[in-house]
Amino acid sequence: MVEFDGFGPEKIIKVYNPKLDVKGVCVIDNSALGPGKGGIRMTETVNEEEVSRLARAMTWKNALAELPFGGAKSGITVDSKKISREKKDEIVKWFSKSLKIVVPSLYVAGPDMYMAEGEMEIFAKANGDIKSCTGKPKHLGGIPHELGSTGFGVYHSTLTALKFLNKDVKKTTIAIEGFGNVGIFAFKFLSEAGARIVAVSDSKGTVYRKEGIDFNELEEVKQETGSVINYKGGKILKNHEIVNIDADILITAAIPDLIKSDDVNKMKFKLIVEGSNIPMSEETERILYKKGVLVIPDIIANAGGVISSYVEYKGGNEKEMFKLVEEKITKNVKHILELSKEEKIDTRDAALRIAKKRVLEKCKICRA
């Protein structure tokens, strides 16, 4: 069930195509700071409630990153792995035309689960406005997320948190949940900085190697075999067992609701960086806070993607994107950590306090 409050959601657009037998939904949560910005995910389980939760996260994410965007999100309910390329393209065209009334004045789309630069090209061309979405191919002025902007932001979130904790990245061990676009680049940048990555998971399992995992070897194994569990020289565990690894840091980079409250007492991490969206409930975050575990919330940790989208939206280039991601992530993670320490509140509460203040300052109809 969608929850409404003093911030939104402002608009919920539900569409259905009987010919394709596909449902879609777009939630524009709050537009106080600008048009709603948020990607389109295509899964067989995505629904109005999930999209609404993600749209609210985008409201806070854009506010924390100090971007001129509100919060929004879209979902298309279909299993893209079970349909043809042609049907997927047809669905994207239909969904784009269905949202023509709100893009880009009230909503700017982007890629999310099972949507990439190819789909964004189709989306932009279908509604005839190049500014209707970001994450487009380079030849359309895009800065594709495949460059690793989100993972780069997760990397700087981790570095900033380690500096706050007076820890040396070269003396830390890290477990990474997920080896898709976010996990791959987080691994790459952190290993180049000297961190030791001891465990990585994907949908088929977890590979653990106390001595450390080689990035290039793991990437090759993933490409050639389809899973990290085929990495030689490591111990193979179930994918959820990534949360029980003995390491200093856990980076979540895949599924929502990964960490349950029952997992907390088994966890040994001192720092968790939320590279994925909603990897645990706010209540679980509070339990971890009481246990002394530092959590960098998703609404800032994985904001590299939307910062990249903003650079593309305003016509910038890749160099500007990486510079702005580093600046904004570092500044705002530091701000959250300092407020959390000063006010003796958990990092989620600190982040939300900052974000809500920024939205309310611009909002004519919102109420806290």
Please enumerate in sequence order all residues whose Cβ is within 8 A of that of 270, keeping only pairs 6 or more positions apart, or say none.
Answer: 165, 248, 249, 292, 293, 294
d(CA 288, CA 272): 9
Catalytic residue among 73, 188, 270, 356: 73
Can you give the C-alpha Rg of the chain in angstroms?
A: 20
Rounded distance, CA 9 to CA 28, Å? 6
The DSSP secondary structure of 86-122, one letter per residue, reads: HHHHHHHHHHHHHTTTTTTTTEEB-B-TT--HHHHHH
Catalytic annotation present for 73: yes
Amino acid at site 97: K
Token output for 79 = 């299993």
Q: Give the list of residues 6+ apart from residue 115 with CB closer than 8 angstroms, or none.
A: 39, 40, 41, 42, 92
Q: Is 142 helix (H, G, I), strand (E, B) or coil?
A: coil
User: Residue 365: which residues within 8 A CB-CB, separation 6 or more?
Assistant: none
Range list of H helices, 102-198: 117-127, 149-164, 181-192
Catalytic site positions: 73
